[in-house]
Amino acid sequence: MKAEVYFTWGEVNEALVDKRTVVVMDVIRATTVIVEALANGARGIFPTESTDEAARLASSLGREETLLCGERRGLKPEGFDLGNSPAEFTPEVVEGKQLIMSTTNGTRALLAAEDASRVLVGAFLNLSAVAEAVGGEENLVLLCAGKDQHFALEDALCAGALLMMLTREREDLTLNDAARVALDLARRYPITADTLRSTSAGEALTELGLERDLELCASVDRHAVVPEMKERRVYLPNPRKRSQGSGRRTP
């Protein structure tokens, strides 16, 4: 398997993702939120590039079945239903809803990957499920969202943790420089809220009083789901794989 990591969404283009499976990671917090929301019964999530586009899409889909969610500078934009704290996305709130999401880095990373043959969503929350889903790939791209176009340690650690799992299954991994570094970092940093707190994104969140989000962001394998994006909508292709205890009733 050839596994390439990119540390920022800005550095990928169509040629780099073409005919590849791409796993998009934005641990703090967009992809954590996506995994949590879908595992808790949301029907689908539409990533959008701007808050304006999000509002327009909400109008066209109908406001009753949709929730606007996301952040700008870490906080809920005006007029939005939910912010970007994973704990907001409980079964009571999201079950059966379509979510329209606009965040600074994560949703842009998803859209940057949209020309890939398969776009999956990864976070510490669903690490083993993603590793299982991509274990048979020959060309894998792990796209870290990064922070404002720069390297973000937490996303590199998530990519590295996924590579650690893959190295246990396969001996034929070929890594680019970034993948090599991500794997190296993951082998030495524990996945804990403290580790996340020490990152630039974790510090920013702590300053906003949202530090408790980090506990949930660091919850490895909380859900056995693998969200996939098709035609700009993220959903669970195989809802039977939804984790136990997510509170979602079978429809």
Q: Given the rule CB under 8 A, which of 4-12, 66-74, 81-89, 104-112 is the region that contacts its own copies?
A: 4-12
- When binding is defined by CB under 8 A, the residue of 53, 95, 132, 184 that contacts its own copies is 184
Across the strands, what pairs with 44? Answer: 98
Locate 190 and state its tokens.
């524990």
Residue 7 Cβ vs its own copies, minimum distance, rounded to whole Å: 5
By CB under 8 A, residue 126 contacts its own copies: no
Instruction: Indicate whether 159 belongs to the interface with its own copies (CB under 8 A).
Output: no
Residue ranges of the alpha helices (H) in 103-152? 106-112, 127-134
What is the smallest separation between the CB atom of 185 and its own copies, expressed in angstroms?
Answer: 7
Q: Does residue number 204 form part of the binding site for its own copies (CB under 8 A)?
A: no
Stretch of 8-16, 53-61, 74-82, 135-143 lying at the interface with its own copies (CB under 8 A): 8-16
Euclidean distance between CA atoms 86 and 20, whole angstroms: 29
DSSP reduced 3-state for 126: helix
Told to check if 11 binds its own copies by CB under 8 A, we report yes
CA distances from 34 to 28, 71, 111, 149, 194 (A): 11, 13, 14, 21, 22
Closest-CA residue to 11 (of 143, 115, 209): 143
Note whether 156 binds its own copies by CB under 8 A.
yes
Interaction of residue 120 with its own copies, rule CB under 8 A: no
The answer to whether 92 contacts its own copies (rule: CB under 8 A) is no
Distance of alpha carbon 63 from alpha carbon 40, whole angstroms: 20
Does residue number 153 form part of the binding site for its own copies (CB under 8 A)? yes
C-beta atoms surrounding 148 within 10 Å: 12
Which residue ranges make up the site for its own copies (CB under 8 A)?
Answer: 5-8, 10-11, 147, 149-153, 156, 176-178, 180-181, 184-185, 199-200
